[in-house]
Structure 1
Amino acid sequence: MAYMEASVRRKQLVAAARSVLAREGVARTSLRAVAAEGGVSLGTLQYVFPSKELLLRAVIEDVVDEIAGVLKESVQVEDGLEHAIRQGLTRFWSQLVAEQSDLQLMQYELTTYALRTPGQEHLARWQYERYAGIVAQWCQEAAGKAGEVCAIPFAQLARVVVASVDGLILQHVCDPSPGRSREDLDAVIEMLIGLAGVRPAGRVRTAGGA
């Protein structure tokens, strides 16, 4: 087998795992199946990922990085938090939801698998902490670069963003309807913008709310 740098090999195996997970589901995905998909021996796979948990964790991290990349590339954060929410979620939906139901189903399966597997519950918690963390960082960067403040903590805003979009995704996966889903997404975006209550950092509200 030709030599391959560890970082390249890791990416190759994570990509193979994502393919198997999307096709077979989490419960039926084994290290042996991923090794076959990646064209490596089981021993090579286990050298990089000694356990299924570590492999699933790497897959989740890869998905989080993909989401972060879409959000980062979708907008100029200097345009402010409202613009970031509106454009970022629209881009996220078009790239990672509308045409990738298998990706979304895989993520839900990763969550339920972890919650139903004794000793793996922390993986589900970590998964959603990573989702919320990347959204919080993205929102805070957009507000900070535009000299804005948010009406609620960025961590709380991020959790509401994740929860709201998560619900829309589940509905879309169960009953795909592009038109309805886009209308609902637009409604959620307006709700989130209202919740954020974005205002210039130098503005101080008086007792009368002015």
Structure 2
Amino acid sequence: MARVPTAERRLQFVRSAARVIAHDGLAAATTRRIAAEAEAPLASLHYCFRSKDELLQEVYYYLSRDYAQALPPVTVAGAGLKAVVRAHARRVWERMLAEPHEQVTTFELLLRRFRVDAEEEPRALAMNRSMYEGWIKSTCELFENAAVDANEEVPANLELSARLFISGIDGISMQHLADPDTERSTALVDMLAESVAGSFAYSPDAGSE
């Protein structure tokens, strides 16, 4: 049997953990259950990750810091900030429809702070914060680059607009998972993109030079 490279095996376990958490809940996501989902030896999981907490941290990263890198490229690069906002909203939503378990897992992980004891809560909060920081950072970078590439001014409220975008996707995802309606949800995503595109504010002296 061919040996699986460590990096590939780690990603395999991370993806399997995300599926297990979505299907069975965080409490049921034991290392044994995750290894079984990955169809890999339990010893291999313990070789790749020193602890379950380390594996969970990588799941956080996979769903936040690394999420944007897994999306297909924006095909309207150079068309301006508002066009990129619309294209980004669509590609994020298409990923959600294709891999709904990722959103379920995200919600499960974010709610973890309410299911741990007081001693563990600060760490759970820090992990939640790191997840949102990953989304906000990648979204801000995408929007800022879109403006710069099109020779447009970068909005003064870029971070708040990015947070609005992310909170909107979260809300639409939650509603869709609870009561699936692809046509309605897609329309809501398009409305969200228009709202975010209309939320950008610029410095009063923009264009005065």
Written as runs of structure 1 = structure 2, the 5 A alignment for 1:113-192 is 113-117=112-116, 118=120, 119-192=123-196
Could you tell me how far 1:121 is from its partner in structure 2?
A: 2.1
Whole-Å Cα distance in 1 between the matches of residues 36 and 187 of structure 2?
42
Q: What does 1:3-18 correspond to in 2, within 5 Å?
A: 3-18=3-18
8 A Cα contact 1:157 1:196, kept in partner: yes
Cα offsets for 1:18-60 (capped at 9, x unmatched): 2322321222101111122223333321222122222122122
8 Å CA contact 1:114, 1:123 repeated in 2: no
Q: Tell me which moved more, 168-177 or 146-155.
A: 146-155
Q: State the 4+ residue runs in structure 1 displaced beyond 6 angstroms.
A: none
The structure with higher relative contact order (CA 8 Å, sep 6+) is 2
Aligned ranges 1:1-210 → 2 under 5 Å: 2-64=2-64, 65-70=66-71, 73-93=73-93, 95-117=94-116, 118=120, 119-197=123-201, 204=207
Identical residues among aligned pairs (%): 27
SS in 1 for 2:199: helix
Distance 1:149 1:115 in 2: 41
TM-score if structure 2 supplies the norm length? 0.84
Report the Cα distance in structure 2 between the residues aligned to 1:97 and 1:4, rounded to whole angstroms. Answer: 28
Displacement after TM superposition at 1:66 (Å): 3.6
Contact 2:148 2:154 in 1 (8 A): no
Q: What is the number of equivalent residue pairs in this alignment? A: 202
Task: Give the residue type in structure 1 aligned to 2:106.
Answer: Q
Write out per-residue CA displacement over residues 95-116 of structure 1, whole angstroms, 9 at most, x where no aligned residue: 2223433221111011101453
Distance in 2 (CA, whole Å) between partners of 1:87 and 1:13 is 31
Q: Distance in 2 between matches of 1:168 and 1:124?
A: 19
The runs of 5 or more residues in structure 2 that have no matched partner are none
The two structures, once aligned, show a CA RMSD in angstroms of: 2.5
Whether the aligned pair in 1 keeps the contact of 2:80 and 2:149 (CA below 8 Å) is yes
